[in-house]
Chain A
């Protein structure tokens, strides 16, 4: 039942650290079998061989931070049958979205020796702010098993089996004792999107929300409980101001706990 031609996969990078697309290279046991199934047509981190034209599935990493990228994503969308964004930068704007609403010119003047070389937008925004996205894969970085599942689902024309509930569901499935309840740890698990397999709490570390908000995040209620457990306001503001700071539910609670001059 081999298809007439192998579907074409492309991987694109925008403002990001590369970690998410490297998750595809991390699929060491599966990547050769995957290459048998699909034509990895555009993935510069994987091969210099680049096939131009149209693609069946585009994986997009990174956020939009320049006028150049704002145009480039439109072109990629036009040439992609399906477009899936991967990681916190592509789905929420990433850590670089901390600059949103702040003075970019001042930042640039402090960071770069030649600020005149920098031509950046005032904001870092997710891909879905610019083009239609068929599916969003969360995480900083993404989980490679979820990436494979997503690719396979698109190959077979089914919906990816990716849960959108909280990290708590994964803690409970693996039998991890809740560190918020048993130790009073300020954990973001109850408002964070599942997918990592609840790694951090299993190693006695509170979830820090790298997968961004879950489907129905009640960040206000969680922040209130953190306060009751003794977390100061600035700790709450910082907890919601990391890789997914521009995700609306996190941004709202970060702002509500930020000092006025921030």
Chain B
């Protein structure tokens, strides 16, 4: 659990907010000009959307997840954050599925280009999990810290307040402990919340790590956290750690994938894989896009749109003469090898944060952790 121990022990400067006062947090964020984006229930799942009132959170609900399966169910308590992650990730806001890059207009022989100013709306992401902070960090490495910086992403990221919530209720699909990304939050937040629900108490232990976070805390009716509050917070994190049973053995994984492009397991997974692109859409780190120009009727106007793309589509690897990756086998191999192996070569860390979304939202329940296990097994042909 690299790096997390320190934060679990570091509740210095922590405060408590009573459940009855939680709306004050939302009101303070609104007053400070933030759009509040938080978990909320829609169409049988917990998704991310704009909220203003505490009642819009999934109060007393949790998620039961498994390969290709997601269901909501009632909890026995009234926890506000008693669930893992759903089909949406924060990339929907930081790296939206569609974005206009420019529009052009022809005036005689001249062409003028217009770009929209970057989106500067202040947003507060409420309920960000440790694995999701890791995912945001990974995408920021791609879009901001790489050779070229994407102004659009950078502006949205800069205007986002991250209000993290320590995970209390991991799903069966979670494996953050294998990827060293959670469940305890360690850095990357403005405010950190640990929700403590006990028989006679329901409080939020809060801590700020930035001036923006401090400014929010200053608006709230807080009390200094007691040693008992801190002990309860630690118990929440320990409980989450113990609740995670799924694992992915990452030892030598980078080499394993690069050395086994012809492993028979790729044929096996290709027989199940639908190449439907769901795993890449729900993955909080997948960042690939395509661009297409759209011309107006008169031929005087044109728009260039950037949209999410996926390495599971044929067009993704299309060059002159056709698609390089014709088979589903080659596409799945590309996705998994990039995510878990060549990502390390490219960006210095794995592209997987262990959130389990690709497992739950694969319509046929392909489980990336099980695929790793199968790839580790000796090919049957040679056995």
Q: Which residues of A contact B (CB under 8 A)?
A: 1, 30, 33-34, 36-37, 148-149, 152-153, 155-156, 158, 161, 163-166, 168-169, 172-184, 187, 189-191, 204, 214-216, 218, 220-222, 224-225
Contacts and interface: CB of A to CB of B under 8 A. Distances in A.
Interface of B: 42-45, 47, 68-71, 86-88, 92, 97-98, 106, 271-278, 281-282, 292-299, 307-308, 310, 312-315, 328, 360-365
B88 A175 contact: yes
Contact of A176 (B43, B295, B362): B43
20 contacts: A1-B106, A1-B299, A30-B297, A161-B294, A166-B275, A168-B278, A172-B97, A173-B97, A177-B42, A177-B45, A177-B87, A178-B278, A180-B68, A181-B68, A184-B69, A191-B274, A214-B276, A216-B275, A218-B275, A221-B273
B295 A168 contact: no
Contacts of A148: 297
B277 A218 contact: no
Contacts of A180: 68, 363
A221 B48 CA distance: 30
A166 B297 contact: no
B284 to A, nearest CB: 13
B315 A181 contact: no
Nearest to A216: B275
B277 A168 contact: yes
Nearest to A217: B274
Contacts of B42: 177
B276 A175 contact: no
A190 B307 contact: no
Contacts of A163: 313, 315
A181 B97 contact: no
Given A181-B70, A182-B44, A169 B88 contact: no
A172 B92 CA distance: 10
A182 B295 contact: no
Given A37-B298, A178-B87, 15 more contacts: A37-B297, A152-B295, A152-B296, A164-B313, A164-B315, A166-B277, A173-B98, A173-B307, A178-B361, A181-B68, A184-B69, A190-B278, A216-B328, A218-B271, A218-B274
A67 to B, nearest CB: 36
B46 to A, nearest CB: 9
Contact of A181 (B69, B88, B293, B299): B69
A158 B296 CA distance: 13
A176 to B, nearest CB: 7
Given A172-B97, A172-B277, A175-B88, A225 B297 contact: no
